[in-house]
Structure 1
Amino acid sequence: MQEDSKGSPGHNFDELKERFQNNIYGTPKGRLRLDLINEDLEAHLTERLGEGAWRVLDIGCGAAMISGRLAQAGHRLTLTDLSAEMLTAARANLESLGAAQACEEWREGAMQDVLPQLQGPYDLIIIHAVLEWMDDPRPALELALSKLRRGGVLSLAFYNRNSLIYRNLLQGNFRKLKKNNWRHRKGGLTPQNPLDPDEVYGWLEQAGLRQICKRGIRTFYDFMQKHVARERSYEDVLEMERAHSQKEPYLSLGRYIHVLYQKE
């Protein structure tokens, strides 16, 4: 449940699980997010973390679509989510992959409440599409980083304020931009606090982490006219996203930004 206080724990998707699953995972938008993030993980993690089983903490795991693949590869998971329904979906996903035994801990609750209870350190911490649901995300991020070992890797994906501003410019929503108000109707799937990428990078650098890679997720797809998007194959869209998502200016227009950082 979304709270308005400074200590907002995030957004609880219990009542929106089916809609979330369909809108996020059952569409080209969701597939692009999963495919591009997985490519980043496959390209960099083994080089940074080495062979063998890693301890992985997935915060706001949803249905464990990312960490499920890591479980299949033999890594050990701790899964947390504010939503009991999402944890149920994650358990079902791991069972369908034959990897349920890879999850050592399941924790329901806000990350600010759950993290102090966990025994780190972890080799890999995943925080995807979580911080933008909080009113004050930096303290929660810093708490998560305290659970990351030296040399460990953070995989962070967040809703990009730049992309939202650009989309509203294209739509002529000038009054909304002048108010700088990103609040949307309750019960929706649009985050309440889109993040400024440069601000997030600053937080991570000040916490002693070094950037490994950076990618925009859906740098152009969300801006395409609907009839044009329908006429293009998923494979063609993915190819073009790959070609443009790691170079400017396209990267900084991605609906989401995905980064990997290593703790020094």
Structure 2
Amino acid sequence: MKSDQIFDGLADKFAANIYGTTKGRLRHQLLCEALEPWLPETPARILEIGGGTGVMAHFLAQHGHNVVLTDASEDVLVHAKELLSDTAGVTIRHARLQDSHDIHRYDMLVCHAVLEWLDNPMEAIAFMAGEMQKGSLLSLSFFNRDALLFGNALYGNFDYIEQGMQVKKKVRLNPHNPLPVQPVIEACEQAGLTVRAKTGIRCFHDYLKDRDMQTSHYEQLLALERTHNQRHPYLWLGKYFHLMLEK
């Protein structure tokens, strides 16, 4: 737990880097679309772990749900409080994932882009699954190590791949524990969770040779992602991977 990444001191840069770019905009849009079909028609109790600046909590609250947003970073929660100041139905709580012992009270758990920042992500999966009530849902997304390797191969970063995609000096806004998809699926199933849906997030965006097209052709790119992000083989190439799971 001591080596888990927390964004205190990096909140402004985090907000700009993640949501001030086409990659952040596209990730959020595709995650919302992956999650929306699974949202209950009546107001649900939703716990978001690692909710960051509050963009997903805002989306969920706008759909009429009651959301408790938690994050381990007090600095990041300052942004969340500002964004959600006029949003009804959201409670903000400063807490680590491991502190959430009331998971059983919720109909849905949302944990997006958290696992890759943890020292023991598989233990986190087991913890969440163990705390969930039967019939509840978990929306889980994580940074895809398989896609990271593929992208680096495309750019000829062979030495980096041979080094296990580890660098001596870590960049604090780069996930330090990207995860291969299949072991995550297996860990979820072993913890008593059933996979209901799989979606690749940004299956094409990050591989464009002309990076300017990420902006100039955004709508066409979005349409391409929507068409193929749940189809083989493209979903496995998503820079992030999304699982909808049921206890």
1:157 to 135, 141, 145: 141
Deviation of 1:188 after TM superposition, in Å, equals: 3.1
Deviation of 1:8 after TM superposition, in Å, equals: 4.1
Matched with 1:232 is: 216
Q: Does 1:45 align with 2:32?
A: no
C-alpha distance in structure 2 between counterparts of 1:80 and 1:216, whole Å = 25
Gapped regions of structure 2 (runs ≥ 5): none
Please say which of residues 129-138 and 185-194 is displaced more in the overlay: 185-194
RMSD: 1.9
C-alpha distance in structure 1 between counterparts of 2:238 and 2:20, whole Å = 20
2:116 to 125, 132, 135: 132
C-alpha distance in structure 2 between counterparts of 1:38 and 1:256, whole Å = 13
Please say which of residues 13-22 and 229-238 is displaced more in the overlay: 229-238
Runs of 4+ residues over 4 Å off in structure 1: none
C-alpha distance in structure 1 between counterparts of 2:103 and 2:36, whole Å = 26
Please say which of residues 35-44 and 197-206 is displaced more in the overlay: 35-44
2:157 to 173, 192, 196: 173
Matched with 1:3 is: none
SS at 1:95 equivalent? coil
Deviation of 1:158 after TM superposition, in Å, equals: 0.2
Gapped regions of structure 1 (runs ≥ 5): 1-6
Residue 227 to residue 132, structure 1, CA distance change in 2 (3 Å):
closer
Instruction: Give the aligned residue type for 1:103.
Output: V
Q: Does 1:110 align with 2:96?
A: yes
Please say which of residues 141-150 and 60-69 is displaced more in the overlay: 141-150
C-alpha distance in structure 2 between counterparts of 1:137 and 1:227, whole Å = 31
Instruction: Give the aligned residue type for 2:60.
Output: L
Residue pairs, 1:62-77, within 5 angstroms: 62-77=52-67
Q: Does 1:13 align with 2:7?
A: yes
Residue 184 to residue 14, structure 1, CA distance change in 2 (3 Å):
farther
- Alignment: residue pair count: 247
Residue 261 to residue 179, structure 1, CA distance change in 2 (3 Å):
same
C-alpha distance in structure 2 between counterparts of 1:152 and 1:190, whole Å = 31
State, as a whole percentage, how many aligned pairs show the same letter.
Answer: 39
Matched with 1:222 is: 206
Instruction: Give per-residue Cα distances to partners, 1:208-256, cap 9 Å, x unaligned.
Output: 2111111111111111123552563221110011112111221111100
C-alpha distance in structure 2 between counterparts of 1:103 and 1:28, whole Å = 26
Please say which of residues 193-202 and 16-25 is displaced more in the overlay: 16-25
SS at 1:66 equivalent? helix
C-alpha distance in structure 1 between counterparts of 2:36 and 2:135, whole Å = 17
Instruction: Give the aligned residue type for 2:44.
Output: W
Q: Is the 8 A contact 1:61 1:81 kept in 2?
A: yes
Deviation of 1:184 after TM superposition, in Å, equals: 6.6
1:92 to 47, 68, 82: 82
Residue pairs, 1:136-147, within 5 angstroms: 136-147=120-131
Residue 142 to residue 52, structure 1, CA distance change in 2 (3 Å):
same
Q: Is the 8 A contact 2:61 2:90 kept in 1?
A: yes
Q: Is the 8 A contact 2:46 2:65 kept in 1?
A: yes
Please say which of residues 133-142 and 189-198 is displaced more in the overlay: 133-142
C-alpha distance in structure 2 between counterparts of 1:170 and 1:206, whole Å = 34
Residue pairs, 1:50-61, within 5 angstroms: 51-61=41-51
C-alpha distance in structure 2 between counterparts of 1:94 and 1:180, whole Å = 40
